[in-house]
């Protein structure tokens, strides 16, 4: 959670805690480990509920395999659910709503019916052409949340590489990159194309490193044109909010120094 909150602040996104504003952000950390209560991971009116049983690697991995998910982590859950929160406050209640509706689909579609259909039938054939993941096909809300989560995955990985001084030199990695790739400390002023170009080459390298260790790809996802368009929408929303919040305190719940790893 600390990494999530620091990243949101660095991106310039507002983090208004629920005790300061009705409908503000809150985290309800529960556990179904004892079997005495059922916990559903999700978001509702600013409250993000997380099931702490998923901190257990064997439980989470078994669920990941059963649900045919290439990626499932606690940080991933936080990033996905906070995507629902930001769609609610930054898109659905603003001028971004019409474009979001046209791009991601009709959010008025029955969510309960969508859940039943998804877990009964799975993702539709050919889903890879227009969605970042199978889960994104379930409902327009999930498509946005998955796109938002991947935006956070990508930007945090790139800026972490930049902080470590990682540079991909074309002359030293023959056949991998066409020109030097220098990840940026911030992609606020970059275009989506520039961000995804850097990520393409960095993720290819990291996938190779994972394979060298006998593991699967670190980032086993494909960015088709429709997916890139959705990521571009998220990027533009984030940049717009950051520009309007420039110079303002966006994280008031806990000092940043106390949140950093």
**Tell me, what's the pLDDT at 259?**
38
Q: Give 90-144 pLDDT, tens digit per residue.
A: 999 999 999 999 999 999 999 999 999 999 999 999 999 999 999 999 999 999 9
**Range of weakest confidence among 17-26, 74-83, 196-205, 212-221:** 17-26
pLDDT of residue 248: 57
pLDDT tens sequence across 53-73? 999 999 999 999 999 999 999
Note the Cα 207 to chain centre separation in Å.
19
257 pLDDT exceeds 70?
A: no
DSSP run (H or E) holding 8? helix 2-11
**Phi and psi, residue 117, nearest 5°:** -65, -40
- Residues 220-247, mean pLDDT to the nearest whole number: 93
At 76 the pLDDT is 97
Answer for the pair 108, 121: CB distance below 8 angstroms, yes or no. no
Cα–Cα–Cα angle for 206, 211, 217, rounded to 5 degrees:
60
Q: What is the pTM of this model?
A: 0.92
Residue-range definition of the domain harbouring residue 217: 2-258
Average pLDDT over residues 24-46: 93
Task: Choose among 115, 103, 192: nearest CA to 150.
Answer: 192
Residue with tokens 């670190």: 218
Q: Which helix (H) or strand (E) segment is 49 a member of?
A: strand 47-51
- Asked if the model's pLDDT at residue 240 lies above 90, the reply is yes
Contact 235, 158 (CB under 8 A): no
Reported as half-sphere exposure (CB side, CA atoms, 13 A), residue 183 has a value of 21
- Whether the per-residue pLDDT at 29 is higher than 80: the answer is yes
More confident residue, 31 or 172: 31
The β-bridge relationship of strands 47-51 and 26-30 is parallel
Based on C-alpha coordinates, what's the Rg of the chain?
19
Rounded CA separation 242/223 (Å): 25
Task: Evaluate if residue 255 carries a pLDDT over 50.
Answer: no
- Mean pLDDT across the chain: 92
**Average confidence (pLDDT) over 6-26:** 92
- Average of per-residue pLDDT across 226-250: 87
Q: How many domains does the chain have?
A: 1
- Percent of the chain, pLDDT > 90? 82
- Distance CA(164)–CA(153), nearest Å, equals 17
| Per-residue pLDDT reduced to its tens digit, 188-224 | 999 999 999 999 999 999 999 999 999 999 999 999 9
Q: Which of 194, 198, 204, 203 lies closest to 232, judged by CA?
A: 194
The confidence score (pLDDT) of residue 171 equals 84
Answer whether residue 22 shows pLDDT above 90. Answer: no
What pLDDT sits at residue 75?
97
């Amino acid at each position: 959670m600390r990494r999530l909150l620091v990243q949101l602040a660095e991106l310039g996104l507002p983090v208004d805690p629920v005790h300061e504003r009705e409908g503000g952000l809150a985290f309800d950390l529960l556990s179904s480990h004892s079997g005495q209560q059922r916990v559903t991971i999700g978001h509702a009116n600013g409250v993000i509920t997380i099931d702490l049983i998923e901190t257990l690697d064997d439980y989470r991995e078994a669920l990941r395999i059963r649900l045919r998910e290439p990626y499932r982590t606690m940080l991933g859950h936080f990033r996905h659910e906070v995507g629902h929160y930001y769609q609610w406050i930054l898109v659905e209640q603003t001028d971004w709503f019409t474009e979001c509706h046209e791009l991601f689909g009709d959010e008025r579609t029955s969510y309960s019916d969508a859940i039943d259909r998804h877990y009964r039938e799975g993702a539709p054939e050919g889903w890879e052409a227009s969605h970042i993941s199978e889960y994104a096909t379930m409902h327009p809300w999930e498509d946005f949340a998955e796109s938002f989560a991947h935006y956070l995955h990508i930007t945090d990985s790139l800026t972490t590489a930049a902080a470590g001084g990682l540079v991909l030199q074309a002359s030293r990695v023959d056949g991998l990159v066409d020109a030097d790739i220098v990840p940026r400390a911030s992609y606020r002023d970059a275009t989506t194309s520039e961000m995804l170009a850097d990520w393409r080459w960095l993720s290819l390298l990291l996938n190779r490193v994972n394979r060298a260790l006998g593991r699967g790809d670190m980032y086993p996802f494909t960015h088709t044109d429709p997916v890139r368009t959705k990521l571009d929408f998220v990027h533009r929303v984030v940049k717009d909010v950051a520009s309007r919040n420039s110079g303002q305190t966006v994280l008031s719940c806990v000092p940043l120094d106390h949140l950093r790893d």
